[in-house]
Amino acid sequence: MNPLLSPFDTAPFSTIKNEHFKPAFLQAMKDARVEIDAITTNTEKPSFENTIEALEFSGQQLDRVSSVFFNLNSAETNEEIQKIAQEISPLLSEFGNDITLNKDLFLRVKVVYNQKDSLPLTTEQQTLLDKKYKSFSRNGANLPEDKKTRLREIDASLSKLKLQFGENILAETNKYQKHLTNEADLDGLPDGAKEAAAQLAKSKGLNGWLITLDYPSYIPFMKYATNRELRKELSMAFGSKGFKDDELDNQKNVLQIANLRHERANLLGYKTHAHFVLEERMAETPEKVHAFLSEILEKAKPAAEREFKQLEDFAKEIDGIEQLQKWDSSYYSEKLKQKLFSLDDEKLKPYFKLENVIAGVFKVSEKLFGLQFEEIFNVDKYHEDVKTYKIFDAEKNFVSLFYADFHPRSGKRGGAWMTSFKSQYKKDGENVRPHISNVCNFTKPTESKPSLLTFNEVTTLFHEFGHGLHGMLANTTYPSLSGTSVYWDFVELPSQVLENWCYEKEALELFATHYETGELIPMDLVQKIKESSTFQEGMATLRQLSFGLLDMSWHGVDPSSITNVKAQETRAFKGTNLYPETEETCMSTAFAHIFQGGYSSGYYSYKWAEVLDADAFAYFKENGIFNTEIATKFKDNVLSQGGTENPMVLYKRFRGAEPKVEALLERAGLL
């Protein structure tokens, strides 16, 4: 019996075997095709109900199987799962094309779409109709047959290339480990980081210490290790992922992905991939994105250059460093920050025990949105590290199931993300509630210490939980408009706005207590966290902008004449570079956000959403950070609405006006 083919509420992880996946996909696709056939062969006149709604609720089993499988491929993968992903992805691409290139289906959708002005539809139904029509027109339904065939070929190739790109990065990350046996090489490292490195070595049957490219291992080493040569070696290993002309090299993949995306956009009548993507974003056009990035660059660059000069002078003064390099960045920034603010991440960490921070984000959510959290132990999990919670509203109604997976392991890709195992929607009088997951990579507990987070990790946890709330509090009729199914440059608003609470005394008092003594974080430390929040903000902004510009340099042009990935990248970074170029490293070959994830032509959206979040939080600040009236407005107009309306309409309904870029520049200290 295949557990993926029986109806299930929570994912049946413990009974799923790898051999269940492919048959489940094949059967679910077959069933979905039957549902599509039922729509196209319906003899009744096409209506919103028998065509658009029927299409929306088709293939639900396939959606569930896909979410279980691809979430595991990110959080708990192995060679077998990766192999299945390579086999399945082109089939799913083909299946998607079979729907969007289905002439009979499109004709029915078109009939309904052409009557849209005379149909008595709700705003959400109008959005769904518009989205369904565009899912056909933007995916080739209006193309002649030969071009449809080419589109299918492109989509199948892209699905494989993107997977290969990600697998290469994971393999590169897992491949590198620096085994140290001389304790002097760990000079400067905090005790907790040393203990974690010793524990990691021990787990691999080695003496001494092990440093890897996983963030909890890599970042403390780059920030604290006094051995400059070792920092350089690690930095080079990290920066050269996918760029070594070996079997894990991603240069060819980058060029192929960029060219195929461009060809696809041209086939569909768009000038570039960016023109295609941005039609469905708040930013609308590549020109607007460039203008937006340029406006912030103009304000940030002088500040970044001043900050860099200050850092150079500081490194020269304390260590006689003549030329600051990339591998010096975290190290001297941390030292300078300690000097200016007497603020050391290591002094803060004891106040941020992982369990306390989780309790803190729960309390903040309770005060803002009336949510209640209950840890449960009877839900199937895909790994013992995963914690599970039931979430209720103030009236004790079930809101969502929540999976939390916080520590790195070899089968898990780096970084942090939110995802879902089940969408929210309303059908047959029932409001079906979602199953949401946060996945992060924080330092594991050691034999002597619990998992203690850096302040940066605290903000990461709040960030991902903000995405989580967007999924949990969804309250829409249709699954494809639910939760985080919004314009990409709007999706970061709920996550980034929640980070603001980490800097506020009232919020920190709820959870920032010393893991040994229970003492509340001293208020002078809170004040220093606040003061240091704009430390090197110019440099940080320049770095974010450089990633957005790199993205646009691949996707906002015709890439067919680009032959050298590194040279292209160097051109893109020209206006934002502060550090000397290193020939052996390349960002593009490991830039999973744009070459594997969904951020192609969308990396600017982090900055775009920062404008929204700074403006939104200013509203809270004016009225109290736990003002329930404003929190309710945010929940009702943003969090619960998903993609049911244009995001600017939703934002203005919450805020009363469009966001102002000045709010961001002021918060960042760049005005």
**Segments of 189-328 assigned E as strands:** 209-212
HSE, CB side, 13 Å, CA atoms: give it for residue 32: 24
- Residues 479, 425 contacting (CB under 8 angstroms): yes
Beta strands in 368-460 (DSSP E): 372-376, 387-392, 398-405, 417-422, 425-427, 430-432, 435-439
Tally of CB atoms within 10 A around 567: 10
Question: 340 to each of 155, 314, 502, 532, how far by Cα in Å?
Answer: 52, 11, 21, 9
The amino acid that residue 251 corresponds to is Q
Classified as helix, coil or strand, 426 is strand
The token pair that represents 450 in the structure block: 């619990």
* Catalytic member of 56, 307, 464, 492: 464
Quote the tokens at residue 143.
């193309």
Taking the CA atoms of residue 116, residue 119, residue 122 and residue 123 in that order, the dihedral angle to the nearest 10 degrees is: 20
In degrees and rounded to multiples of 5, residue 547 shows phi and psi of: -70, -40
> Rounded to whole angstroms, how far apart are CA atoms 321 and 328?
9
Residues in the chain: 671
| Cα–Cα distance for residue pair 361/512, rounded to 1 Å | 11
Continuous segment of H or E residues that includes residue 399: strand 398-405
Specify the pairing of strand 435-439 against strand 398-405. parallel
Number of H helices, E strands in the chain: 27, 9
Q: Tell me how far apart the alpha carbons of residues 407 and 648 are, in angstroms, rounded to a whole number.
A: 36
- Local structure of 40: helix, strand or coil: helix
Radius of gyration, CA atoms only, the chain: 25
Residue 418: strand pairing partners: 438
Q: Is 69 in a helix, a strand, or coil?
A: helix
The SS3 call for residue 537 is helix
Q: Is 464 a residue of the active site?
A: yes
What residues are paired with 419 via a beta bridge? 437
Tokens found for residue 212: 């890897």
Paired sense of beta strands 417-422 and 387-392, if any: unpaired
- Per DSSP, which regions of 89-208 are E strands? 177-180
Direct distance between the N- and C-terminal alpha carbons of the chain, in angstroms, rounded to an integer = 63
Q: Cα separation of 492 and 609, whole Å?
A: 6
What the block records as the tokens of 224 is 């604290």
- Report strand pairing: 387-392 vs 372-376: antiparallel
Q: What three-state secondary structure class fits 103?
A: helix
Q: Which two tokens stand for residue 150?
A: 């080419």
Residues serving a catalytic function are 464
